[in-house]
């Protein structure tokens, strides 16, 4: 019987449902959000426009965008109790604090138990707006500083940098951050979206699904790679050490972080945007060496392209954040902040045509053993 079963380990190549949210062609390196090219969105759309597109399935007109932007700005505050929890858990990794704080906000959200599309949308907007407040409050508390209140005059990305540094970013810095959020907003049924959908499929609520998503995103095989890439660049230190260092990883059977992807077998289409920004920012800040080091790593990895192992979205992101002077351990929280709209859409899709996500495991342990009472066991 067991020999007839075909295992789909890692659910590789398995379609589990239909979606209208994003389209990925891993062999062509193509990514669309609701039909629109990621390249156009990265170059021309604001984060607010992109989130609106994902949540409402259409690009907003000016009045719709203004109203939506105002709604996001109005929802940035976090309950005082959640701030207190952040203070109490401040020694944990920022992703753990974000996961805990998102979970805690469920206790104060009036819609927590309401799974209607309208309520899930409201919660998705609130969580999208609150996440940067949580992440920056924690970052500042860790530095022994007081959290900075959200600035209602700034858009989402600019406000994130403002709350982190207590200083308004330049227009270029804000745009860079915004582009990064746009690139991270949604991405098919990756591991964290799958985790969010599994939670939603039990008819659990959005907060629970987002907590599942954050917990799943945390690992270095998924969202944790940007931090690992920057650690690698810092470890390499100088461009002329990059080749030997990279070969050392490969020869010892290790993985070069920021390379490879379960779906993309050509270059991740998001990577080029961050590569360009990383290079430009490095020049502007008089620190071109991080780009040079990573370029050298990429050069050594070039033969792996033939095996479908190419730079992914995280390869250039870490150096860009580092140049913006963002602490390394919150790189992954940036990914999570950008992705909340994507998780929200997927939870709404799951709820709208729900089926319990419940695959099977092929048992291969012993069978029908005789139970020995405790007092007779040797």
Active-site residue numbers?
261, 314
Nearer to ligand ACO, 306 or 355 (CB): 306
- Cβ–Cβ under 8 Å, residues 136 and 83: no
CA distances from 185 to 4, 27, 49, 89, 298 (A): 40, 21, 11, 27, 25
Nearer to ligand ACO, 12 or 372 (CB): 12
Q: In the sheet that 36-37 helps form, which strands lie side by side, from edge to edge?
A: 22-25, 30-33, 36-37
Nearer to ligand ACO, 69 or 314 (CB): 314
Closest separation in Å from C-beta 15 to ligand ACO: 16
**If DSSP codes are grouped into helix, strand and coil, which group holds residue 31?**
strand
Closest separation in Å from C-beta 258 to ligand ACO: 5
Closest separation in Å from C-beta 195 to ligand ACO: 13
How far is CA 254 from its chain centroid? 23
Footprint on this chain of ligand ACO (rule: CB under 6 A): 220-223, 225, 255-262, 309, 312-314
Closest separation in Å from C-beta 24 to ligand ACO: 12
- The helix (run of H) or strand (run of E) holding residue 216 is helix 206-217
> Exposure pattern of 274-294 as b/e (b: 16+ CB <10 Å)?
bbebbbebbeeeeebebbbbb
Nearer to ligand ACO, 79 or 188 (CB): 188
- Cβ–Cβ under 8 Å, residues 94 and 330: yes
Closest separation in Å from C-beta 255 to ligand ACO: 4
Nearer to ligand ACO, 90 or 328 (CB): 328
Q: How far apart are the first and last CA of the chain?
A: 35
């Amino acid at each position: 019987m067991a020999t007839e079963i075909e295992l789909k380990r890692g659910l590789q190549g398995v379609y589990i449902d239909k979606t209208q949210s994003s389209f990925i062609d891993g062999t062509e390196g193509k990514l669309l959000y609701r039909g629109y090219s990621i390249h156009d969105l990265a170059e021309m759309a604001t984060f607010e426009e992109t989130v609106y597109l994902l949540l409402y399935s259409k690009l907003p007109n000016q009045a719709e965008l203004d109203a939506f932007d105002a709604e996001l700005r109005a929802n940035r505050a976090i309950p005082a109790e959640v701030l207190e929890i952040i203070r109490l858990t401040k020694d944990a990794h920022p992703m753990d604090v974000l996961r805990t704080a998102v979970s805690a906000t469920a206790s104060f959200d009036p819609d927590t138990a309401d799974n209607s599309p309208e309520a899930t949308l409201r919660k998705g907007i609130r969580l999208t707006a609150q996440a940067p407040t949580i992440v920056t409050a924690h970052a500042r508390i860790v530095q022994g500083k007081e959290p900075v209140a959200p600035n209602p005059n700034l858009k989402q990305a600019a406000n994130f940098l403002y709350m982190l540094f207590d200083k308004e970013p330049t227009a270029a810095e804000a745009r860079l951050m915004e582009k990064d959020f746009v690139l991270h907003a949604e991405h098919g049924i990756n591991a964290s979206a799958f985790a969010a959908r599994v939670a939603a499929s039990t008819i659990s609520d959005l907060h629970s699904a987002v907590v599942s998503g954050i917990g799943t995103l945390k690992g270095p095989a998924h969202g944790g790679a940007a931090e690992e890439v920057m650690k690698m660049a810092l470890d390499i230190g100088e461009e002329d050490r990059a080749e030997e260092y990279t070969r050392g990883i490969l020869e010892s059977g290790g993985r070069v972080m920021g390379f490879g992807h379960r779906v993309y077998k050509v270059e991740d289409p998001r990577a080029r945007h961050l590569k360009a920004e990383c290079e430009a920012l490095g020049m502007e800040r008089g620190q071109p060496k991080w780009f040079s080091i990573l370029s050298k790593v990429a050069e050594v990895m070039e033969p792996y392209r033939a095996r479908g192992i190419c730079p992914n979205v995280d390869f250039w992101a870490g150096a860009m954040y580092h140049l913006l002077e963002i602490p390394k351990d919150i790189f992954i929280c940036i990914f999570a902040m950008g992705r909340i709209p994507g998780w929200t859409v997927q939870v709404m899709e799951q709820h709208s045509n729900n089926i319990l996500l419940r695959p099977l495991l092929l048992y291969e342990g012993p069978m029908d053993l005789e139970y020995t009472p405790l007092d007779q066991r040797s």
